[in-house]
Amino acid sequence: MLSAEESAYAQRVRELAQRELLPLVDKCDEGNVNRALLAKMGSRGLLRDLFGGLAEEHPTVAAAMRLCLLRETLAGVSTGAETALALQGLGSYPILQSGRRETVERWIPGVVRGTTVAAFALTEPEAGSDAAALALTAAPDGDGWRLRGEKMWISNAPEADVYTVFARTTPDAGARGVTAFAVAGNADGLSGEHLDLLSPHPIGQLHFDDVRVEPTDVLGEVDAGFKVAMRTLDLFRPSVGAFAVGMAQAALDVTLEHVANRHAYGAPLAAQQSIAHRLADLATQLEAARLLVYTAARAYDAGASRSEITRRAAMAKLFATEAAQIIVDQCVQLHGAYALRRGHLLEHLYRDVRAPRIYEGASEVQRSIISRELFRERATP
């Protein structure tokens, strides 16, 4: 399933996370950006590894596969560390992918060092999964634009140093009238506040009150921002599945330990056939999810067609996040009340596992994407 080089890379990440990242995870208030953690990730090269071709110790681990291994491995150690890394990548990848040279040079070095916090600002109060319905406007202002409107459910907001912002530059044009911009977190007219979620991580709402953006802030081409967003999501959606796989593996591992040592009616719980069979089913679901994630990553790295990449990314995210929800829930059930105590690993995972079925395209959206691509591929000679 993994090459020797890929396995060695994952092992290196696991050891580093356990030794250097885990002690920093709780040294920050829940719901705030953990800058010390990001700085440590930067100094140890993990943020550099977000971007394909920059890793030095394991250069043969390709970009999408490296991202998936990073997220899966970190999730098995700390969901807080995993989330911090993933948000940094999601927010900055459009800049690296589509930014002008001066824009890349302004922001990416700090992102890689962990001193610049990035955020991906797509969702709005009335435009979540329907990204083509974006209402935040970019009104012409000389040779630049003025941003007016709101963004909602933006991870790392309102603390980010740079936002990839998607705004409407052409009215009534749907997805064809959206442009991506790199916007400084301290820009005049930009404000925001934190939001409190079931599983706290830094997330908030942003308000744009005539925020000025320059021509050099455009990512890609004017009115082509939707392509910037989709290219980013095609890379990151399989890695959301990898995050889910990492959580599910952590849940299954702690549950195997529990049922092997917990006795009931004079024997370990693992001796009961109903429990053994349930664990077998959960392990099979987990393995299927992992294979879908790796297949999607390898398709991306191999340069498959855009349709295949999009379809496999959606399949990986859909199946892995849905499977992880089931696995974590069943592991809680097998632990009983032990898993409900605040601070238990499964109590933490039970809260964390819910959100990935919603963000970066809810499960229902992934099903629509898959069916669309199936018919598109069928129509291609």
Please count the other Cβ atoms lying within 10 Å of the Cβ belonging to residue 112: 22
* Maximum separation of any 2 CA atoms in the chain, in Å: 80
Query: Hey, what amino acid is at 78?
Result: S
CA separation for the pair 371, 311 (Å, rounded): 8
Q: Pick the catalytic residue: 6, 82, 124, 360?
A: 360
- 72 catalytically annotated: no
Closest CA to 12 of 44, 54, 40, 42: 44
Backbone angles phi and psi of 119, in degrees to 5: -145, 150
Total residue length of the chain = 381
What sign for the dihedral angle of Cα 205, 211, 217, 218? positive
Residue type, 222: V
Separation of alpha carbons 110 and 201, rounded Å: 21
**Amino acid sitting at position 212:** R
Question: Are 61 and 6 in contact, with CB atoms under 8 Å apart?
Answer: yes
The residues carrying an active-site annotation are 360
